[in-house]
A and B are shown apart, each in its own frame.
Chain A
Amino acid sequence: MDTACRIWSTCFILSCGFPFQANAFDSEKRPYSAVEAESAEWKAELEIRSGWWSLQPPKEIDPPMVDTESEDLNPVDRFILKSLKDADLSQAEPADSETLLRRISYVLTGLPAGPEQIDSFREAFEKNPDSAFEALVDELMDSPHFGERFARQWMDVVRYTDTYGYEWDNPAKGSWEYRDYLIRAFNDDVPFDELIREQIAGDLLSDPRINPEAGVNESMIGPMFYHMGEHRHETSLQFNGVHQEMINNKVDAFSKAFLAMTVACARCHDHKIDAISQRDYYALAGVIMSPRWTPRVIDAPGKYDAEINRLKSLRSQIHGQMADLWQENTSQVSAEKIAHWTEENQEEWEELKQEDIRHLFSSILGATDETISEVWIQLVNDWNETSATRQTENAGKFYVVTDFSEPGFPEGWVLEGDGIVHGYVNQGTPVVSLTGDSLINSVLQLGYHTHALSSKLAGAIKLPDQELVEGQFISFELKGDEWAGHIDIPQNAFGNETITFIPPGGPSQWMSIEDRELKNGVTQNYLQITTASLNSNFPPRMGRANVGEIELPAEDDGLNHRSWFSLTGIVTHNEEGTPSDTLALFSTLYSDTQPLSIDEAWQMIEEWFSDSVDRWARDKPFPEDVHLINWLLDQDLLPNSMADSPSIASLVKQYRTVEEQIGFTRSVNSMDERGVPPMDYRINIRGNVHDEGPEIPRNFLGVFEGKHRVNQSKHSGRLELAEYLSSAENPQTARVYVNRVWHWVFGTGLVNTPNDFGKLGDRPSHPELLDWLTNTFKEEGWSTKKLIRSLVLTSTFKQSGKIGSVAAERDPDNRLLHHYPTRRLEAEAIRDSLLSVTGSLDPKFYGPPINPVRSQEDPLKRLLSGPLDGEGRRSIYIEMSIMDPPKFLIGFNLPIPKLSTGRRDITNVPAQALLLLNHPFVKEMAERWAKRLVKDGSDSPHERIHGMFRRAFSRPATDSEMQRWAGALDSFVHNDEVMIDQAAWTELAHALFNTKEFIYYR
């Protein structure tokens, strides 16, 4: 079996839905190739195909007249009633208040109605059903649970996941931020055209949507949309196919979510029946592949500017006062002290290198007054020789990219995060100590230090493609902690495991990275130096996050690390190796004079140090002085404690207070086009990744040619794509979305294949209504809430579920909407109802996901178990892992989200009965409810059972039900006091959860 054929056939399974076999329909037409896509033959074919209904602009149409009174009717109803009338059918009678209350609560919030709403709504409903319902709708649409409900439905479409699946199920960086972004967006009724722009090109918008309350740049979160779904670890350089699979998933999700088109079908051949060529697939692939797929900071721009400025000012004051303090206390670095320190510590010293300051000290200690002069001359000679040799070597071998005498990096190097943006410091700038008794931690070398103000601020340096950086190697002088490191990312495969972390502690060290040999369709390799939260592959798979003895534990979700790095040198070179230490440290010590006694030697050392401190205090330190001062600080030989200066101590405390106000930088996997040239993607002949054809210029689908400016873009074209898709001229996006909303409200779309408006999808049941709704939706500013409101305030929505026999016969699938269907609760709504009814729901919004309860943990994959009740949080907040998604929810058809889901399955299997009968969570919920019930103050079992019915079903029990349930209660009772027999009430509650009515609404 050759690979081309395999991928070809796999493509059908994933998204195409038509067979490759020669005997399949449409067999007389052979598939077109990308080259032929420009041919006259394909153009003629495209012309025919582009006549398909969903590619036509929505028609301008007025709601039809059903009868003489039509004008007073709701326009949506007029369309529905007309179709029913044409079929000689009519709507079902209106639903009663209890049915309607339960229905609208689930439709708008995914939660059951509160028992207190039942009576008030019924009373209002009896007076005026329409106004009562309208008021209820407004109340529910204002509830923040509305956003959770509709976000979750959109999350099916964008294949939401908290992890990347495959072998290691790594966390998907910032997924939950994207989930929270959606919740806020639906609650704030952000126009959907804006959400389209943000999800496609939110990083590029000139006027991004800043949310001051949440403190985030909402637009920047949008492109996380691309990065949902499964991501394999490693890159195409190791295993050909990695980036090709990722791009396939993105093209597929993009085209289904926004266009209801199956563009991924055209990976290997022109679409056999829809207006999509293979060329289109690769043209679009170039648009999506062009930017870096990389984490972005989502904090609102300038969010911490005030704090940052304050910290800078405090640091400067502390710097000045420290200078005074140390100048006043030069005795601290006396010859005696250093000599004494050396004697105290020297026993531990073994085989010291020439670079080590202790090598010098031990040489002095080993000498006598008689020999010191000779020893010293030897030291100086050795130093001269080594220093000169190394300087020559370095100069010959390494090209210095920057010496940091000025802030900034070469052209094309891009910075991300306040840590790096505010990270440039002058020689000797102090790092203020954030804990303990010290005033400062160290003084900094000239360069970039992400922790110069606060180690909560993230920072990343993104290099241009390796081809644009001189030399086969690039080396960085780095120091850092808490999982800062570097990663190179070939062709956007950001799960790359060449990730390297900077070993914490010790002096700066050179880390060297070699250009990768590009192959397997990889045309670019982007290197980043980054703190943890801006590293696309942090936390990496278990076992890869380790430096030395330190390993990141499975429980660590990678958030909120004080991760930082210092970058003080950058060189490029063509041979392996890193620059040698030229021993500059000693340049201010060694001169023509030599000591004549041991005392004099120590005296020279003292001057060496005190001159350093003096130069630092006058703000004119040499680079070597920084090392000497840090050495003194490490040995506690300089005054640096709170007690040494109450005045500095007070500044340090202020500094700490301000620093506490700064939050950890928030980030999500997004897109970044800064500093990268756009790329055209090479076609894979017949989809075979081993068989590359020509580059296909970036473009949108041929069927929309001339209507957009994607192909004119000097950049990726995403911005132009977003503009076109969110414009009123585009025939697809609004209609596709309106149909989704209809599907969410009525349980069935007007087109019942919400992800496929192509030939293999369903035809619209009410094409004119769909067009009318689409036009109205656009006219009313793409408002989701207005759209939903216009759907639920119809007699169509307010019908009961009663089916006439004629209707059942003529339209068994209810395509004409002659009743409101009985709907099974979605998995999340079942779990959320259990929490809500039993008073266990914690209505907290947002935040990192909660682990689902698991019967078996696998720490190697971070598949850890969470609390049985998920902390009482709504199901949207339970971790959606690809490898092991929440079993209770999966049991009720939560989709496994590798691909976009337009419409969930609703299955009906014994495993669901077993879940509700025996799952410990359901049992636990019954127990908790009973615990509350026995203290609810009810006077009789009847009163209490009524209350239970109201909570669970939004209605009281009928007489016969009362008799039945009270009878069952009797058989459960083992206690004389029925009202406090908690075990009996637990059984009754448990039985109630197992009724069908509990998991359905009508």
Chain B
Amino acid sequence: MTPDLSRRGFLKHSSAAFGWMALSGLFGDRAYGAIMPQPHYKPRAKNVIFCFMDGGPSHVDTFDPKPMLSKFQGTKIGPDAVSHRSQSAAERVWLGSPWEFKQRGQSGLWVSELLPNIAKLADKICVVRSMLGELPLHGQQNLLLHTGRILGQAPSWGSWVSYGLGTENQDLPGYVVLNNDWVPNGGLENFSCSFLPASHEATMMRAKGVPVDNIAPTGMADIQRRKLELLAIQDQEFAARSSEQRAIEGAIANYETAFKMQTAIPEVVDISSEPQHILDLYGIGSSDEHQHFYGTQAIRARRLIEAGVRFVEITCPSFDDNNSPWDQHDELKKLHEKNARVTDQSVAALIIDLERRGLLDETIVVWAGEMGRTPHTPEIKEGCGRDHHVDGYTIFMAGGGFRQGIAYGETDEMGNAVVENKLDIHDIHATILHQLGIDHERLTFRHGGRDHSLTDVHGRIISDLLI
């Protein structure tokens, strides 16, 4: 059977990719189909780890140096710099970066001192400085970043990747969100499979405490086993009496998968077997609780990829009553530094660790927020900050066949608008799918009378970003 990626609507109501194989032998039902789809063309990578910098890290304080901002700090931006893609007004004033930028490594890529560990990897990352968003609002931009639509109501890109690639491990989901105990703006819909088969919904794993809801068995394993034996016969009889035999057998099969997940998931997220030098690399020993947990999630991301999960997303922890983690309308200096401390070492460690294990080539690490921050502020004062900005913000990719040590695209001399190589998130989606061997125009799902895709009518593959 040659699976046709655009004709899989029949899987929506079945257990689909999520552990079907363990059971196909049991019930002899092969109708749910071979699930590892054929890629559209030879893939360059097979995994994605998305480090979601929720809230919008400032581009002009990280990867997009703008010395003119310091020169004109305090000067009014004027009406020409006002834009509906920015929280802007003519009387606001330019604000220089409190951090020093340096050229790093062989490539000479500019990275500020805010991210010292990522800076050391400058020769490995592919920076895009020309991202263009829709609206300077978290909810819309988060949904745009995740689902390709500002209003959501469509699957998350993790779900699309899971749908397009299937899973290598029947006991684990294809899309995992390593959450840091915080629901991003736009809500859980950011991680939803929407109209795709339910098996592609993100499985949320939290940082603190029990990682996954309902995964810890409520009773002893032998008792549970005994119950499953009892249920197997009881339910088979019921299935025979019912008019929806296949659905009920699917539900029975899910119990077998669920039983295995109870062991598989705790095993893969348990980092206690990691050697000390790895724990140190990721900063697990940090006295900062947020950094400790972020590092823990970063190691888990690697372990999940190794175990066959295709798309792992790590969210940032929220603290100090910020609307979202990197959302520094005030206290830019203090709180951007805290966010950097929490994430910088672990993200760098993840790239190093993947590379040492030979996994970086086949794994795309994405570092992105949903927006950047205004190069201006209402008033220069102690504890001032930057507001929402989507005309020219910065993200980077590492591994997975992306070029290394380059900065693509340009913003104007104030970092206030894209002037060269405008990209939108659809282009990034299309390019990443391309690296995974998926044609973004052909990965479709029929819903409500039409074929939907992640990129809808948009998206270009940006070969300039690729090796």
A926 to B213: give the CA distance in the assembly, Å: 19
Asked if A197 CB lies within 8 Å of chain B CBs, one says no
Q: Within A1-25, which residues are at the interface with B (CB < 8 Å)?
A: 1, 3, 5-6, 9-10, 12-14, 16-21, 24
User: Given A822, A863, A898, A923, which contacts B248 in the complex, CB threshold below 8 Å?
Assistant: A822
Complex interface bits, A168-194 against B, C-beta within 8 A gives 1, otherwise 0: 010000000000000000000000000
Say whether, besides A166-B185, A1002-B241, A910 and B153 are in contact (CB < 8 Å): no
A511 to nearest B CB, angstroms?
24
Cβ–Cβ contact B233 & A964, under 8 A: yes
Within 8 A of A (CB), among B199-258: 199, 201, 203, 206, 209, 213-219, 223-224, 226-227, 230-231, 233-235, 237-239, 241-244, 247-248, 250-252, 254-255, 257-258
Residues of A within 8 A of B98 (CB): none
Interface pair B214/A822, CB less than 8 Å apart: no
Name the residue among B18, B183, B252, B424 with the largest chain A CB count within 10 angstroms: B183
Complex partner residue of B138 from A167, A898, A920, A990, CB under 8 angstroms? A167
Cβ of B25 within 8 Å of any chain A Cβ, yes or no, is no
Contact B242 A822 (CB under 8 A): yes
Taking a contact as CB atoms under 8 Å apart, the answer to whether B235 and A990 are in contact is no
Question: Which residues on B sit within 8 Å (CB–CB) of A910?
Answer: 15, 18-19, 199, 254-255, 257-258, 261
Select the residue from B14, B198, B447 with max chain A CB neighbours within 10 A: B198
User: B323 an interface residue at 8 Å Cβ cutoff?
Assistant: yes
Q: What is the distance, in angstroms, from A274's C-beta to the closest C-beta of chain B?
A: 11
Taking a contact as CB atoms under 8 Å apart, the answer to whether A909 and B198 are in contact is yes
Specify the chain A residue showing the minimal Cβ separation from B182: A858
- Chain B 371-397 interface mask (CB, 8 Å, partner A; 1/0): 000000000000000000000000000
Chain A residue numbers with a CB within 8 Å of B251 are 908, 912-913, 996
Q: Are A856 and B13 interface neighbours, CB within 8 A?
A: no
Say yes or no: is B356 at the interface (Cβ < 8 Å to chain A): no
Q: A822's contact among B139, B243, B252, B449, by CB below 8 Å, is which?
A: B243
In the complex, chain B residues whose CB is within 8 Å of the CB of A245: 151
Q: How far is the CA of A14 from the CA of B152 in the complex (A)?
A: 9
Contact with B along A732-749 (1 / 0, CB 8 A): 000000000000000000
Task: Give the contacting residue for A1; candidates B201, B241, B243, B424; CB below 8 A.
Answer: B424
**Chain A, residue nearest B134 (CB):** A6
Interface string of B159-177 (1 = CB under 8 A from A): 0000000000000000000
Point out which of B14, B16, B132, B188 has the most chain A C-beta atoms below 10 A from its C-beta: B188
Taking a contact as CB atoms under 8 Å apart, the answer to whether A907 and B12 are in contact is: yes
- Chain A residues with Cβ below 8 Å from B247 are 822, 824, 906, 908
Closest to B192 in A: A896
Digitize A905-926: 1 where CB-to-B-CB distance is under 8 Å, 0 elsewhere. Answer: 1111111111101111011000
Interchain CA distance A829-B214 in the complex, whole Å: 20
Distance between B246 CB and nearest chain A CB, rounded to angstroms: 10
Is residue A776 contacting chain B, with contact meaning CB distance below 8 A?
A: no
Are A995 and B153 neighbours in the complex by a CB distance under 8 Å?
Answer: no
Q: Which residues of B contact A690 (CB under 8 A)?
A: 84
Which one of A12, A898, A918 contacts B214 once the chains associate, using CB atoms below 8 Å?
A918
Are A898 and B139 in contact, with the CB atoms below 8 A?
no
- Smallest Cβ-Cβ distance to B133: which chain A residue: A1
Residues of A near B238 (CB, < 8 A) are 995-997, 1000
A167 touches B242 (CB 8 A): no
> Considering the complex, which residues of chain B in the window 146-163 have a beta carbon less than 8 Å from any beta carbon of chain A?
149-154
Residue from the list B13, B137, B153, B242 in contact with A801, Cβ < 8 A: B242
B451 and A10 contacting across the interface, CB-CB below 8 Å? no
In the complex, chain B residues whose CB is within 8 Å of the CB of A821: 243-244
Chain B residues numbered 98-155 whose CB sits less than 8 Å from any CB in chain A: 132, 134-139, 149-154
Q: Is A360 in the interface zone, CB < 8 Å from B?
A: no
- Residues of chain B within 8 A (CB-CB) of A3 are 134
Q: CA separation between A1000 and B241, bound complex, in Å?
A: 12
* Smallest beta-carbon distance B427→chain A, Å: 9
B234 x A961 contact (CB < 8 A): yes
Distance to closest chain B CB from A808 (angstroms): 9
Q: Which one, B14, B84, B255, B452, contacts A913 given CB within 8 A? A: B255
A971 cross-chain contacts in B, Cβ below 8 A = 226
Measured CA separation A760–B451 after assembly (Å): 13
Q: Which residue of A lies closest to B423 (CB)?
A: A1
Task: Check B13 against A907 for contact (C-beta < 8 Å).
Answer: yes
Q: Is B151 a contact partner of A10 (Cβ separation < 8 A)? A: yes
Cα A246 to Cα B213 with chains together (Å): 34
* B413 on the A face (CB < 8 A): no
Does B28 make an interface contact (CB < 8 A)? no
Do B198 and A907 touch (CB < 8 A)? Answer: yes
Q: Are B250 and A968 interface neighbours, CB within 8 A?
A: no
A50-58, A557-565, A880-888 - the one binding chain B = A880-888
Q: How far is the CA of A690 from the CA of B239 in the complex (A)?
A: 57
Give the interface residue-count category, chain A: 35 or more
- With A18-B450, A910-B258, A997-B238 given, is the CB distance from A882 to B187 under 8 Å? yes
Contact residue among A824, A896, A987 (Cβ-Cβ distance under 8 Å from B219): A987
| Candidate in B12, B152, B234 with the most chain A CB atoms within 10 angstroms | B234
- Inter-chain contact B214/A908, CB cutoff 8 Å: no
Partner of B213, one of A13, A167, A887, A995: A887
Q: Could you tell me if A908 and B254 are in contact, using CB atoms closer than 8 angstroms?
A: yes
* B458 part of interface (Cβ distance < 8 Å): yes
Contact B153 A991 (CB under 8 A): no
**Inter-subunit contact B214/A991 (CB<8 Å):** no
Please tell me if the beta carbons of A972 and B15 are within 8 angstroms of each other in the complex.
no
Q: Are A968 and B227 in contact (CB under 8 A)?
A: yes
Q: Are A908 and B456 in contact, with the CB atoms below 8 A?
A: no
Q: Which of B13, B16, B153, B257 is close to A898, meaning CB atoms less than 8 Å apart?
A: B153
In the complex, which residues of chain A have a beta carbon less than 8 angstroms from the beta carbon of B181? 856
What chain B residues lie within 8 Å of A906 (beta carbons)?
Answer: 13, 247
Cβ contact within 8 Å between A856 and B206: yes
B219's nearest neighbour on chain A, judged by CB, is A987
With A884-B188, A991-B231 known to touch, is A909 a contact of B15 (CB < 8 Å)?
A: yes
Check if A165 is an interface residue, CB within 8 A of chain B.
Answer: yes
Q: How far is the CB of A747 from chain B (nearest CB, A)?
A: 10
In chain A, what residue has the closest Cβ to B248? A996
Contacts of B252 in A (CB 8 A): 996
Given the known A-B contacts A802-B243, A961-B234, A1002-B242, are A17 and B188 also in contact in the complex, defined by CB atoms under 8 Å?
no
B448 at the binding interface (Cβ < 8 Å): yes
B426 at the interface (CB under 8 A from A): yes
Closest chain-A Cβ to B287's Cβ sits at a distance in Å of 23
A567 CB–B CB distance under 8 Å = no
Cα of A899 to Cα of B218 in the assembled complex, Å: 36
Distance between Cα atoms of A649 and B19 in the complex (Å) = 77
The interface bits of chain A over 409-432 (1 if a CB of B lies within 8 angstroms of the residue's CB, else 0) are: 000000000000000000000000
Asked if residues A997 and B183 are in contact (CB atoms below 8 Å), the reply is: no
Q: Which of A18, A19, A910, A923 has the most CB of B within 10 A?
A: A910
Tell me the complex Cα distance, A690–B448, Å. Answer: 29
A860 and B321 form a contact (CB under 8 A)? yes
Complex: how many Å from CA A590 to CA B350?
82
Q: How far is the CA of A968 from the CA of B234 in the complex (A)?
A: 12
Which of B13, B231, B321 has the most chain A CB atoms closer than 10 A to its own CB? B231
Q: Is the CB of B187 within 8 A of A964?
A: no
The answer to whether A10 and B149 have CB atoms under 8 Å apart is yes
Query: Shortest beta-carbon distance, A659 to chain B, in Å?
Result: 40
B226 adjacent to A972 (CB under 8 Å): yes
Residues of A within 8 Å of B61, CB to CB, are none
CB contact between A908 and one of B237, B243, B250, B259 (< 8 Å): that residue: B250
CB neighbours of A882 from chain B (8 A): 187
The residues of A that contact B15 with a CB separation of less than 8 Å are 908-910
A803 is an interface residue with CB less than 8 A from chain B: yes
B457 and A996: CB pair below 8 A?
Answer: no
A-B contact list, 5 entries, CB within 8 Å: A543-B321, A907-B13, A908-B250, A917-B214, A917-B217
**5 nearest A-B residue pairs (beta carbon):** A17-B448, A913-B258, A760-B449, A907-B198, A822-B242
Sample of 8 further A-B pairs with CB below 8 A, known A13-B154, A855-B213, A961-B234: A3-B134, A13-B456, A167-B138, A908-B198, A913-B255, A997-B238, A1000-B248, A1002-B242
